[in-house]
Amino acid sequence: MSHEEVLHSHEGHGHDDHGHHEHHETFLSKYVFSMDHKMIAKQFLITGMVWAVLGGLMSVLFRLQLGYPEASFPWLESILGKWAKGGQITPEAYYALVTTHGTVLVFFVLTAGLSGTFANFLIPLQIGARDMASPFMNMLSYWFFFTASIIMLSSMFVETGPFSGGWTAYPPLSALGDASPGSKSGMDLWIIAMALFIVSSLLGGLNYIATILNMRTKGMSMTRLPLTIWALFFTAVLGVLSFPVLLSGMILLIFDRNFHTSFYLSDIFVNGVGALSNEGGSAILYQHLFWFLGHPEVYIILLPAMGMVSEIMSVNSRKPIFGYMAMLGSLFAIAVLAFLVWAHHMFVTGLNPFLGSIFVLLTLLIAVPSAIKVFNWLTTLWRGNIRFTPGMLFAIGFVSLFISGGLTGIWLGNAALDIHLHDTYFVIAHFHIVMGVASMFGMFAGVYHWFPKMYGRYMNNSLAYIHFWVTLAGAYLIFWPMHYEGLAGMPRRYFDFSIWESFKMFADLNRFISTVAMIVFAAQLLFLMNFFYSIFKGRKVTTLNPWQANTLEWTTPIRPGHGNWPGEIPEVHRWPYDYGKDGQDFIPQDVPVGANESHGH
Amino acid sequence: MSLYLSIAIIALIFIVIFQIAKASEYVSILKGEEESRKQNNKINGFLMVVFLVLGLVGVYLCNVYLYPKTLLAQGAASVQGEKVDQMLFITLAITGIVFVITQILLFWFAYKYQENENRKVFFFAHSTKLELIWTAIPAITLTVLVVFGLRNWFFFTGEAPKNAMVIEVTGKQFGWIFRYPGHDAIFGKKYYKNIDPATNSVGIIWDDKYSQDDILTEQTMYVVKGTPVKLIIGSRDVVHDVGLSHFRLKMDAVPGIPTTMWFTPLYTTKEMREKTGNPNFAYEISCDQMCGNGHYSMKGIIEVVDQEEYDLWMAKQKPQYYTAFPDKDPTAVPAAATTDSTAKVASAKM
């Protein structure tokens, strides 16, 4: 079947089908086991938000320890029990909090919560499809994620505690229950949760790819896709190619833990236990497998944010995104390079120096497409007519953070500097700014921008403005000074610095950072209040296209049903960025090209 | 009690902010949505410049306040460290310039091109020339950094000089063990199943003739100012990392796979105490790889001394062999201990 035929047959099919759906919807099929991509997106979003709150709360707790190592807080004991005896968090609990914070934020919030939400929500709406290629697989993807979430949550209640060896879970620490209590049953649950999570993201990813390649509406050629879709496409490809490697690494870890194999273990003597029989394994092998996913994972998190920022920035500057093809090319370059740089996380593991030098070169090469993206965003703003909607503010914030965090990547990617800065607070500052906060900003931008499409109501602007400015200023106040701690060599994952002559001079600074972190966390609650209040009580959307945007999702009804368009799916005649063309403010994608229109994209 | 009170106060603050925000929404409807949207646009546009200015001032103040606290201010304590610092400054200069320019452009554009009814936007979809410029400039700049970086990288990871003093470092939960090869300058072989925490903490094979003069110490390592030191690094249990912040180097300690690192210390501990004005100054070894609940307390000390002092210290050390087998120790008084130590030898062989 040719490409055209697929499009047509699907269109006709979808048209016939429609209407049936709304008749037999029950509560269960509409809100719980839904196969509507929009509902699944909301499920991902809200589960992600629950995890974001839990993960954020964990960071508040361990920042409390870092900021006030000497103080004791009796109320901590009442909520944490034996993990905070006498009102002071124990090292065990501290490490469990740090580990779970990392795992949850990286995987459950910024992978599932971000690309799960927006890939599901935007792909069918923006390419002009009635749903995903396989709505059932899409539903499964969410429920695997949900199950993973439940198991991860339950690991926090086992007697020996949740896993506490860092989110990267390097063996032998993660393989030996005798080396750390968190590596006992807490770690088994952690691995199972991660395995289910990987299944979820593979089911999702395959679906996104299939949908984008096969189900675009008539006229929607690949180069007429909004950049959001391109970003989500590359994200899905990265995930599908790299997550299986992590899964295999985890399976080997399960074998080492439970079946006495020696993939990662060799020459080990554990205090109080004695010499283990394992010989011949390599602890470094795990790091290769982990980072082969781990580095693409950074882009799995970042690319959807980049895509959404490009779209939102163009809409609100009332100006086409500058250099569409360059944006696309740089996305592609980043996606390819993402697979060739993993060992820059391993410069100080005793890696062959020659191999290290290749990874330096490839890593710094990523700065080129990143720079192209930044300059293109700046040029998009230049001579535009900017509307500061909350989504736009967060998009601008994203670019600022991406610049700040991206530039420190040039430091860390250079092995000769990494040899000093590796595993210090400089790294914490770098990846929290560029991957953590920046992607969060992308996510906030997306939520504020597409909320009217999701719920048919607006969020409150004043709250959004407060949320934005507090979060942007707070993010810099928290993470900027951490660079200085890192330059002093202050190591990450330390429970207490007071015994270190080399690092204890930062005690005041740590207290400052902790205080700001708590305020910024509180500001996120404003967002939550705004979000949930607006779902039910927000100002109603009264026009189809509140942002006056070009993309197809704004041609659907204000509250689209399952199937998205009540009639036929609109045909696409142009690229999505005709803003300010020929003196017209905007020309939606479904408007045919006029007779005397100037030649555009 | 005070907990509930503070929760109540925080909740109250939230409700107040929330009510104000809701009220502002009603006001905006009364005023006309278009009108209030424009007003908000002006406010946010203005805040963009405010943020830019305050941000740049903040960056400057942060540097004034924090730079003296970083170890950069006191200078690196090794030949390698000085090269790292030099590279840090080159990288800082390049990325710093880019940082300032791009952030200014970002927030300035946001302010300058905020919505204005009279402005006609410039339909500017692409320009091959511009795109080539900002592909080429980063590429050239990065080449410079890569060349500098790799020259240093190969120096750091290259062979240690012939005259280097060789010390073996072993990490364990949660401390450091150091082994010196003794007079023969060759380490005895070791096998992890020989480890006995009391007498043979790294698992030396005593049958190896090179092993009998090996010296073991814990927590503190002595090295000589100006003499290159080569560390052979290993771990006994999980992955650790020898982090030397004053020397600006670090290297993982991996069980089963030895790694190496070398450096040339430039100042003795005493000289650094004077230089930094801190009478408690110490070259600390921090474990920089998560290794369990005691990770944060896994501290070792490097004493950098001059040759004379080192020789005095070394003369006082006793080979570990004699600790494991006190009866073989020529300096000890043989007698009562004999029966006791044969029992120990028997148990060690089992």
Please report, for residues A82, A112, A334, the alpha-carbon distance to residue A123 in angstroms, rounded to integers and kept in the order given. Answer: 47, 15, 21
Q: What is the pLDDT of residue A407?
A: 96
Q: How far is A333 from A314, CA to CA, in rounded Å?
A: 22
Closest-CA residue to A343 (of A384, A389, A299, A287): A287
Considering only CB atoms, which chain B residues are within 8 Å of A397?
none
- Helices A37-67, A507-537: axis angle to 10 degrees equals 150
- Residue A82 pLDDT level (bands cut at 50, 70, 90): confident
Q: What is the pLDDT of residue A527?
A: 95
Q: A475 CA to chain B: closest CA distance, Å? A: 12
How confident is the model over A340-364, as pLDDT tens digits? 999 999 999 999 999 999 999 999 9
**Residue from A288, A358, A378, A419 whose CB has the most chain B CBs within 10 Å, to mutate:** A419
Question: Mind giving me the DSSP string for B266-285?
Answer: -S-HHHHHHHHT-TT--EEE
- Residue A9 pLDDT level (bands cut at 50, 70, 90): very low
Out of A319, A365, A526, the one facing B121 most closely (by C-beta) is A319
Please, which residues bridge with residue B171 across strands? B176, B235
Out of B125, B152, B157, the one facing A324 most closely (by C-beta) is B125
Q: Is B84's CB within 8 Å of A386's CB?
A: no
- Residue A12 pLDDT level (bands cut at 50, 70, 90): very low
Angle at A439 between CA A433 and CA A440, to 5 degrees: 95
Range of the domain at A60: 39-265+277-575
Task: Determine the average pLDDT of the residues in A590-599.
Answer: 84
Does residue A80 surpass a pLDDT of 90? no
Considering only CB atoms, which chain B residues are within 8 Å of A460?
21-22, 25
CA torsion sign for A526, A528, A534, A536 is negative
Task: Decide if A601 is inside a domain.
Answer: no
Q: What is the pLDDT of residue A240?
A: 96
Considering only CB atoms, which chain B residues are within 8 Å of A497?
296
Q: How far is A574 from A578, CA to CA, in rounded Å?
A: 8
Q: What is the pLDDT of residue A600?
A: 63
Q: B322 CA to chain A: closest CA distance, Å? A: 23
Task: Decide if A53 is inside a domain.
Answer: yes
Q: Is A462's CB within 8 Å of B99's CB?
A: no
Task: Decide if A402 is inside a domain.
Answer: yes
Q: What is the pLDDT of residue B334?
A: 53
Strand pairing category for A274-275 and A579-581: unpaired
Q: Locate A391 and state its tokens.
A: 């989504």
- Residue A14 pLDDT level (bands cut at 50, 70, 90): very low
Task: Decide if A5 is inside a domain.
Answer: no
pTM for the predicted model, two decimal places: 0.93
Q: What is the pLDDT of residue A11?
A: 41
Is residue A270 within 8 Å of A236, Cβ to Cβ? no
Q: Is B255's CB within 8 Å of A172's CB?
A: yes
Q: What is the pLDDT of residue A303?
A: 96
Closest-CA residue to A301 (of A440, A145, A396, A148): A440
Out of B95, B238, B259, the one facing A172 most closely (by C-beta) is B238
Q: Is A385's CB within 8 Å of B251's CB?
A: no
Q: Is B45's CB within 8 Å of A324's CB?
A: no
Considering only CB atoms, which chain B residues are within 8 Å of A315?
none
Between A130 and B29, the higher pLDDT residue = A130
Q: What is the pLDDT of residue B14?
A: 86
- The residue with tokens 């006709």 is A12
Q: What is the pLDDT of residue B347?
A: 44
Strand pairing category for B215-218 and B240-244: unpaired
Question: Mind giving me the DSSP string for B64-122?
Answer: HHHGGGSTTTT--SBHHHHHHHHHHHHHHHHHHHHHHHHHHHHHHHHHHTB--TTPPP-
Q: Is A320's CB within 8 Å of B124's CB?
A: yes
Q: What is the pLDDT of residue A19?
A: 42
Please, which residues bridge with residue B303 across strands? B222
Is residue A561 within 8 Å of A209, Cβ to Cβ? no
Mean pLDDT estimate for chain B: 89
Out of A265, A416, A489, the one facing B71 most closely (by C-beta) is A489
Q: What is the pLDDT of residue B346?
A: 43
How confident is the model over A328-344, as pLDDT tens digits? 999 999 999 999 999 99
Task: Determine the average pLDDT of the residues in A362-383.
Answer: 94
Q: A26 CA to chain B: closest CA distance, Å? A: 34
- The residue with tokens 């905007």 is A586
3-state secondary structure of B197: coil
Out of A368, A488, A491, the one facing B69 most closely (by C-beta) is A488
CA torsion sign for A50, A55, A59, A61 is positive
Assign residue A223 the CATH number of its domain.
1.20.210.10
Out of A284, A317, A353, the one facing B154 most closely (by C-beta) is A353
- The residue with tokens 């202050």 is A490
Task: Decide if A18 is inside a domain.
Answer: no
Q: What is the pLDDT of residue B29?
A: 81
- Residue A7 pLDDT level (bands cut at 50, 70, 90): very low
Q: A348 CA to chain B: closest CA distance, Å? A: 5
Q: Is B284's CB within 8 Å of A501's CB?
A: yes
Domains of chain B, by residue range, sit at 1-31, 165-317
Task: Decide if A10 is inside a domain.
Answer: no
Q: How far is B230 from B156, CA to CA, in rounded Å?
A: 11
End-to-end CA distance of chain A: 29
Is residue B179 within 8 Å of B323, Cβ to Cβ? no
Q: Is A388's CB within 8 Å of B142's CB?
A: no
**In total, how many domains does chain A have?**
1
**Residue from A60, A62, A269 whose CB has the most chain B CBs within 10 Å, to mutate:** A269
Percent of chain A with pLDDT over 70: 96
Question: Across the beta sheet with B220-224, what order do the strands follow?
Answer: B220-224, B299-305, B283-287, B240-244, B249-253
Q: Is B44's CB within 8 Å of A393's CB?
A: yes
Task: Decide if A482 is inside a domain.
Answer: yes
| Count of Cβ atoms closer than 10 Å to residue A470 Cβ | 17
Task: Determine the average pLDDT of the residues in A575-601.
Answer: 86
Q: How many CB pairs under 8 A join A and B?
A: 381
Task: Determine the average pLDDT of the residues in A546-550.
Answer: 94
Is residue A211 within 8 Å of A133, Cβ to Cβ? yes
Residue type (1 letter), A28: L
Buried b (16+ CB within 10 A) or exposed e, A29-56: ebeeebbbbbbbbbbbbebbbbbbebbb
Q: B164 CA to chain A: closest CA distance, Å? A: 19
The H or E element containing residue A106 is none
Q: What is the pLDDT of residue A31?
A: 82
Q: Locate B138 and state its tokens.
A: 């980063």
Considering only CB atoms, which chain A residues are within 8 Å of B11?
none
- Residue A2 pLDDT level (bands cut at 50, 70, 90): very low
Q: Which residue of A has its CA nearest to B59?
A: A480
CATH number for the domain running over B165-317: 2.60.40.420
Is residue A313 within 8 Å of A263, Cβ to Cβ? no
Please report, for residues A389, A590, B113, the alpha-carbon distance to residue A316 in angstroms, rounded to integers and kept in the order given. Answer: 7, 20, 11
**Residue from B237, B241, B246 whose CB has the most chain A CBs within 10 Å, to mutate:** B237
| Eight-class DSSP state of B253 | E
Residue type (1 letter), A566: P
pLDDT < 70: residue spans in chain B? 1, 332-350
Q: What is the pLDDT of residue B1?
A: 59
Is residue A548 within 8 Å of A586, Cβ to Cβ? yes
How confident is the model over A448-478, as pLDDT tens digits? 999 999 999 999 999 999 999 999 999 999 9
Q: Is B84's CB within 8 Å of A92's CB?
A: no
Q: How far is A231 from A403, CA to CA, in rounded Å?
A: 19
Q: What is the pLDDT of residue B303?
A: 96
Q: Which residue of A has its CA nearest to B84?
A: A417
Out of A350, A414, A423, the one facing B145 most closely (by C-beta) is A414
Q: Is B150's CB within 8 Å of A357's CB?
A: yes
**Residue from A78, A312, A318, A385 whose CB has the most chain B CBs within 10 Å, to mutate:** A385
Burial level of A21, CB count in 10 A (0-12/13-18/19+)? middle
3-state secondary structure B132-159: HHHHHHHHHHHHHHHHHHHHHHHHHHCC
Q: Which residue of B has its CA nearest to A403?
A: B99
Out of A165, A349, A388, the one facing B252 most closely (by C-beta) is A349
How confident is the model over A471-522, as pLDDT tens digits? 999 999 999 999 999 999 999 999 999 999 999 999 999 999 999 999 999 9
